[in-house]
Amino acid sequence: MTACSLSGVSCLVTGASGFVGHRIVQMLLEEEPKLEELRVMDKNLSEDLLKTCQRFRDRTLVKTLQGDIRDTDFLHGSCRGVNLVFHTAAIIDTVGKVSKDVVMSINVTGTEQLLAACLQNNVQYFIYTSSIEVYGPNAQGDPIINGTEETVYDKKSAFCYGESKSLAEKKVLRANGQELQNGGTLITCSLRPAYIFGEGSQFLQIHLDQALLNGDVFHRLSRKEALVNPVYVGNVAWAHLLAARAIRDPEGTKKIAGNFYFITDDTPHMSYSDMNHALGKELGLKVESKLAMPLPILYIVASLMEMVSFVLRPFVRFVPPFTRHLLTILNTPFTFTYRKLQSDTGYKPRYSWEEARQMTSDWMVSVIPQRREHLRKNK
């Protein structure tokens, strides 16, 4: 399909310092030179984000906005004069590091308040960065192989993060078609990336640190047969840009208004642990051949650690290194296609698996010396 460019559009990216938000900002600056304005918003504006914005200062008007997604006055000021919002800001938590109240206030209430600010300030388009975790895996670990947006699944979330993203996504999609202050209409859609890898991934860095402490061997917490399809961060950003172009086109609006889409790419299906190995093997990094103990016993260990965490909570915050929920995520076959996204927005992965693997491995090479030094000092 032929999609509109974003020429003359004023865009706002929330969570702009984050892994996905920063990459969306970078892609907008590279691919849309005729933007009227780009506003980048985060509670903390990272040095890397500011450097990216600085590189394009002579071509695109970039406005930096530092504030909290829960601050309604700040949100109204940020949305005034904006045409299109990419909402990526969120707390990502898979092991219970952050209290449920905080996760819900940022991921759900923050989204709700941002939508209200968009309606009040006549923002026409709203693209939400959701997560595959709104779909599952469920507590039973029921698998999905090459699922689509029409796949029927008992997706009741067993964990706070997935629940928060699901609630926020429902608010976004229900807001589609609501009347703006000026009589126009708000158009929304939601994008659900699979597990995202690439340069700068905080999760990949955690796994890398653990491997360096383990004699350059990645720990195995997922069975080989638990196939998933991770997606490269550059392809996630590309999907957001194509959705933005499509949502402004009258034909595209008809297709994607009020809908959600899975974002995957052509990364080979493999387990999470084998994915780490695929990215690190040319660096000499290995992966454990099997789980440290049988999966049912790991679940028992996780359950005991969760009980200890609960008992200690009034006195000290103990965060288990892994939980039953995380074990379920890591050990459930869970793959999806991008056919619907391709059909409705023209999406095809911009980066091949080999390109994505090479760029990610190059980043790993660049950070290993400093990570070794950091780990040595903090022994």
Active site residues: 165
Tokens 């949305």 locate to 79
The structure tokens listed for 335 are 């793959």
The structure tokens listed for 327 are 């074990």
Q: Which residues are registered as beta bridge partners of 120?
A: none
Separation of alpha carbons 355 and 361, rounded Å: 10
Q: Which residues are registered as beta bridge partners of 196?
A: 231
Question: Rounded to a whole number, what is the distance in angstroms from the first to the last CA of the chain?
Answer: 55
Phi, psi of 138, rounded to the nearest 5 degrees = -80, 175
What secondary structure letter does DSSP report for 133? G
The closest alpha carbon to 15, from 65, 84, 81, belongs to: 65
Tokens 């290194």 locate to 321
Separation of alpha carbons 120 and 318, rounded Å: 42
Strands (E), the chain: 10-14, 37-42, 62-66, 84-87, 125-129, 144-147, 187-193, 196-197, 217-218, 231-232, 260-263, 286-287, 334-336
**Under 8 Å between Cβ of 103 and 164:** yes
The closest alpha carbon to 8, from 250, 252, 245, 346, belongs to: 245
Separation of alpha carbons 70 and 223, rounded Å: 40
Separation of alpha carbons 123 and 181, rounded Å: 9
Which amino acid is residue 28, in one-letter code?
L
Separation of alpha carbons 186 and 178, rounded Å: 6
Q: How far is CA 234 from CA 24, 93, 197, in A?
A: 8, 22, 9
CA angle 364, 351, 212 (to 5 degrees): 15
**Under 8 Å between Cβ of 13 and 24:** yes
